[in-house]
């Protein structure tokens, strides 16, 4: 099972927005098939492993990091394939976190006379897909706000210079977080200020499927010459401007949102079934996200530099009593080179 | 030896500015004497242990966390007492860190025919007295700047409210740091703004000797009605005002410093032979300390609250390029309740 879990991780940058899954097929104490899920819409881990094992699967045992699916989605139900392959026993680490189908795969296998066992290395397997599990349970994606700041809470100098507050290692880590997210969201303000590419640049042998890029551009200030649009990655522009410039390419989609409150903008994104939204933006939007409790978590790269009081503050809120200050909870502390990465819950 | 080291810790809040030391005397596999050093000017650990063992010391073994002294200070040389007590063997964890006398105690014992061994649990013993060791090696105290700040680098609201940014647990920890320091240093600005007592309030059964309190009051703005002065703890006022109000009590000393540069102020304190200076002050003085590289370390209590851009920034420096920003090094990260304590080196 540990091998199945390790195998699953090969898909971590490419599987979005499906869960990562690994599968091992064992017969006569030998591994005859290995598979992992690579990309939504392509074959599941079980199918890849069955294909590798080819005709030798009769009477074999199967180890999967997640309960096999029993429904026809973009690909056929894996339970059917396992039954057809005459598998003897199926072990899986966790049930499907989608409460509507959890246990369905197990029942289908049992009805076909295949022995099952659930729960081996359950906790390890649960940690594989935190975003997916979150959406399955709550119906909403995990929304993460990421900021890099100095020791004194500054994100840029007053002349706009923000290159680089955090170290190369922190920036690399932040690219990994992008690559693990289904979507990256930013605002037209940030695009106009920094002209960022907003893609995931990670040094890895694993395949990377770029996250969908989402930009909030209420009045339609952007044009398609910004680097942000120079890609065939899926892009969603959220706007109120019905006369928004027609997209030059098919990968760019315009979503007109009538009620432009933050709550409604994020509500409108739920239909896309993304597991995670990773936000990188300026202080004004960040402050609004915190104030309106839109985010689930804040990821802060804290670099031990002092930029001084003239520099741009991380948040723009104004309070008159310390007891009124938004209060977060520190969930994780990690050293990244000379910086610290703090994960805070709102 | 482990017991000697544990015993030493009983003196940690009271021994200032001596090192903490513990001593165990063993004869026929039984402990016949225990002692630790309680307070500068009073009996050393060895003497307390010898007193407890009384007449039974002939042929006994002695375990000490630090090399016994061989010079006459405020108290007689411990080596002489050990020799007179007809001790057989003396084990000590570390040499005296003062490079001028290191090994002297050992030589004195050996010359008297007492067997010695140095280095047992050396690393544990070295951690007992970091401040003392630092001064012995460098001749200067460890200077620590302590600040409590919010997640966004603010130390107070713009209306002055700073109660409380950090949690009770962090404040308790900060009082422990005060109690472990030889001195607490602040400025007249802080006293006028907050009227603090600036003493060490720690819940413990251990004895606490209050740190010497030092205040920098260049022009002589203070009077003796502030809470800071309401104590019989030693107080040093550093000023340029030769007409400073005469102190009403003997514990208050006025130090007139002609060259009022930060470097010279701290230089003038070296003659007092303090091992550590713990600084609590406002942002202006803190910024100057960082800029002029006066501090050895910054201790930051980071509370996950957001006070917003209108609030008072932790530092007041101004820079035009991020590469010019003062850069610190994170040495320690510790969770304290809901806050984080960061120890940074300058």
pLDDT in tens, A141-194: 999 999 999 999 999 998 888 888 999 999 999 999 999 999 999 999 999 999
Match 């609250």 to its residue by tokens: B305
Q: What is the mean pLDDT of residues A112-135?
A: 92
Question: What predicted TM-score, i.e. pTM, was given to this entire model?
Answer: 0.89
For residue A279, give the nearest of A210, A190, A194, A169 by alpha carbon. A190
Confidence of residue B236 (pLDDT cuts 50, 70, 90): very high
A322 with B305: Cβ contact below 8 A: yes
Residue A274 carries which DSSP code? -
B157 with A320: Cβ contact below 8 A: yes
Q: Does residue A229 sit in helix, strand or coil? A: helix
Residue A327 sits at the chain B interface (C-beta within 8 Å)? yes
Q: Which residue of B has its CA nearest to A328?
A: B304
A322 with B162: Cβ contact below 8 A: yes
A304 with B340: Cβ contact below 8 A: no
Residue A76 pLDDT > 90, yes or no? no
Residue A97 pLDDT > 90, yes or no? no
Q: Does residue A138 sit in helix, strand or coil? A: helix
- Indicate which of B153, B168, B169, B327 best probes the interface with A, i.e. most A CBs within 10 Å of its own CB: B153
The predicted pLDDT at position A162 comes to 81
Q: What is the mean pLDDT of chain B?
A: 93
Confidence of residue B75 (pLDDT cuts 50, 70, 90): confident
Q: What is the mean pLDDT of residues B10-29?
A: 94
- Is there a contact between A154 and B153 (Cβ–Cβ < 8 Å)? yes
The predicted pLDDT at position B98 comes to 77
User: ipTM of this model?
Assistant: 0.85
- Size of chain B, expressed as the number of residues it contains: 346
Nearest CB to A322 within list B157, B309, B317: B157
Residue A100 pLDDT > 70, yes or no? no
- Give tens-digit pLDDT for B184-206: 999 999 999 999 999 999 999 99
Tell me, yes or no, whether B134 lies in a domain: no
The verdict on B40 and B169 lying in the same domain is: no
Q: What is the mean pLDDT of chain A?
A: 93
The verdict on B223 and B97 lying in the same domain is: no
The verdict on A211 and A165 lying in the same domain is: yes
Binding-face residues of A in 145-204 toward B, CB within 8 A:
149-154, 157, 159, 161-165
The predicted pLDDT at position A43 comes to 92
Binding-face residues of A in 79-138 toward B, CB within 8 A:
none
Q: How far apart are CA A81 and CA B170, in angstroms?
A: 58
- Pairing, β A212-216 against β A183-187: parallel
Which CATH number goes with the domain that contains B256?
A: 3.40.430.10
A150 with B153: Cβ contact below 8 A: yes
Domain of A100 in residue numbering reads as 1-129
Residue B97 pLDDT > 90, yes or no? no
Q: In the annotation, is A46 catalytic? A: yes
Tell me, yes or no, whether A278 lies in a domain: yes
Q: What is the mean pLDDT of residues A228-239?
A: 96
Domain boundary among the residues B67, B100, B129 is at B129
- Give tens-digit pLDDT for A52-66: 998 899 999 999 999
The verdict on A88 and A183 lying in the same domain is: no
Q: For residue B327, which residues of chain A lie inside 8 Å, CB to CB?
A: 304-306
The verdict on A3 and A152 lying in the same domain is: no
Q: For residue A307, which residues of chain B lie inside 8 Å, CB to CB?
A: 319, 322, 325
Residue A323 sits at the chain B interface (C-beta within 8 Å)? no
Nearest CB to B329 within list A304, A309, A317: A304
Nearest CB to A327 within list B152, B305, B310: B305
- A159–chain B nearest CA distance, Å: 7
The predicted pLDDT at position A74 comes to 78
Domain boundary among the residues B69, B97, B129 is at B129
Residue A311 carries which DSSP code? S
- The Cα-based distances of B233 to B37, B41, B216, B229, B252 in angstroms read 20, 16, 17, 9, 8
Domain boundary among the residues A107, A129, A151 is at A129
The verdict on A62 and A81 lying in the same domain is: yes
- Structure token digits, residue B282: 């406002």
Match 């100098």 to its residue by tokens: A157
- B292–chain A nearest CA distance, Å: 14
The verdict on B24 and B112 lying in the same domain is: yes
- Give tens-digit pLDDT for B146-174: 999 999 999 999 888 888 899 999 999 99
The predicted pLDDT at position A34 comes to 96
- Is there a contact between B141 and B277 (Cβ–Cβ < 8 Å)? yes
The predicted pLDDT at position B100 comes to 67
- The Cα-based distances of B321 to A15, A157, A305, B318 in angstroms read 41, 8, 12, 10
A333 with B333: Cβ contact below 8 A: yes
- Give tens-digit pLDDT for B277-293: 999 999 999 999 999 99
- Indicate which of A148, A149, A153 best probes the interface with B, i.e. most B CBs within 10 Å of its own CB: A153
- Is there a contact between A166 and B341 (Cβ–Cβ < 8 Å)? no
- Give tens-digit pLDDT for A5-29: 999 999 999 999 899 999 999 999 9
The predicted pLDDT at position A73 comes to 75
Give the contacts of A166 (CB within 8 A, at least 6 positions apart).
A148, A174, A301, A303, A339
A308 with B313: Cβ contact below 8 A: yes
- Is there a contact between A167 and A321 (Cβ–Cβ < 8 Å)? no
Residue B340 sits at the chain A interface (C-beta within 8 Å)? yes
Residue A209 neighbours by CB distance under 10 Å: 18
The verdict on B160 and B39 lying in the same domain is: no
Residue A327 carries which DSSP code? B
The predicted pLDDT at position A111 comes to 93
The verdict on A214 and A101 lying in the same domain is: no
- Is there a contact between B37 and B20 (Cβ–Cβ < 8 Å)? yes
Q: How far apart are CA B53 and CA B50, in angstroms?
A: 5
Residue A346 pLDDT > 70, yes or no? yes
Tell me, yes or no, whether A191 lies in a domain: yes
The predicted pLDDT at position B76 comes to 81
Tell me, yes or no, whether B135 lies in a domain: no
Tell me, yes or no, whether A134 lies in a domain: no
For residue A313, give the nearest of A334, A290, A333 by alpha carbon. A290
Tell me, yes or no, whether B275 lies in a domain: yes
Catalytic pick from B46, B67, B273, B280?
A: B46
The verdict on A191 and A308 lying in the same domain is: yes
Q: Which residue of A has its CA nearest to B343?
A: A304
The verdict on B85 and B214 lying in the same domain is: no
The predicted pLDDT at position A55 comes to 86
As for how many domains chain B has, the answer is: 2
> What phi and psi values does residue A74 have, to the nearest 5 degrees?
-70, -20
- Give tens-digit pLDDT for A250-261: 999 999 999 999
Tell me, yes or no, whether B179 lies in a domain: yes
The verdict on A320 and A177 lying in the same domain is: yes
Which CATH number goes with the domain that contains B125?
A: 3.40.140.10
Tell me, yes or no, whether A135 lies in a domain: no
């Amino acid at each position: 099972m540990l091998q199945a879990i390790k195998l699953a991780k090969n898909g971590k940058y490419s599987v979005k927005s499906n869960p990562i899954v690994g599968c091992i097929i064992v017969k006569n104490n030998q591994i005859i098939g290995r598979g992992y899920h690579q990309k939504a819409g392509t074959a599941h881990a079980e199918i890849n492993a069955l294909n590798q094992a080819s005709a030798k699967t009769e009477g074999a045992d199967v180890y999967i990091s997640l309960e096999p699916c029993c429904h026809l989605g973009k690909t056929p139900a894996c339970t059917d394939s396992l039954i057809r392959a005459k598998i003897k026993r199926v072990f899986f680490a966790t049930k499907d976190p989608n409460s509507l189908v959890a246990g369905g795969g197990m029942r289908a296998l049992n009805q076909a006379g295949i022995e099952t066992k659930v729960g081996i290395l359950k906790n390890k397997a649960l940690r594989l897909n935190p975003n997916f599990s979150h959406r399955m349970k709550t119906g909403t994606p995990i929304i993460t706000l990421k900021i890099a700041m100095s020791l004194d809470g500054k994100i840029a100098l007053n002349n706009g210079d923000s290159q680089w507050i955090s170290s190369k290692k922190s920036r690399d880590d932040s690219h990994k977080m992008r690559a693990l997210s289904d979507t990256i969201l930013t605002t037209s303000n940030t695009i106009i200020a920094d002209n960022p590419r907003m893609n995931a640049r990670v040094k890895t042998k694993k395949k990377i499927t770029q996250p969908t890029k989402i930009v909030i551009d209420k009045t339609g200030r952007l044009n398609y010459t910004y680097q942000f649009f120079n890609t065939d990655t899926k892009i969603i522009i959220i706007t109120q401007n019905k006369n928004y410039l027609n997209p030059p390419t098919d990968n760019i989609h315009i979503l007109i949102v009538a009620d432009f409150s933050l709550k409604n903008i994020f509500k409108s994104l739920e239909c896309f079934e993304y597991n995670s939204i990773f936000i990188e933006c300026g202080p004004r939007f960040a402050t609004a996200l915190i104030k309106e409790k839109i985010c689930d978590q804040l990821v802060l790269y804290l670099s031990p530099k002092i930029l001084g009081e003239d520099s741009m503050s991380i948040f723009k809120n104004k309070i008159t009593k310390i007891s009124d200050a938004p209060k977060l909870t520190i969930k994780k502390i990690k050293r990244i080179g000379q910086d610290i990465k703090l994960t805070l819950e709102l």
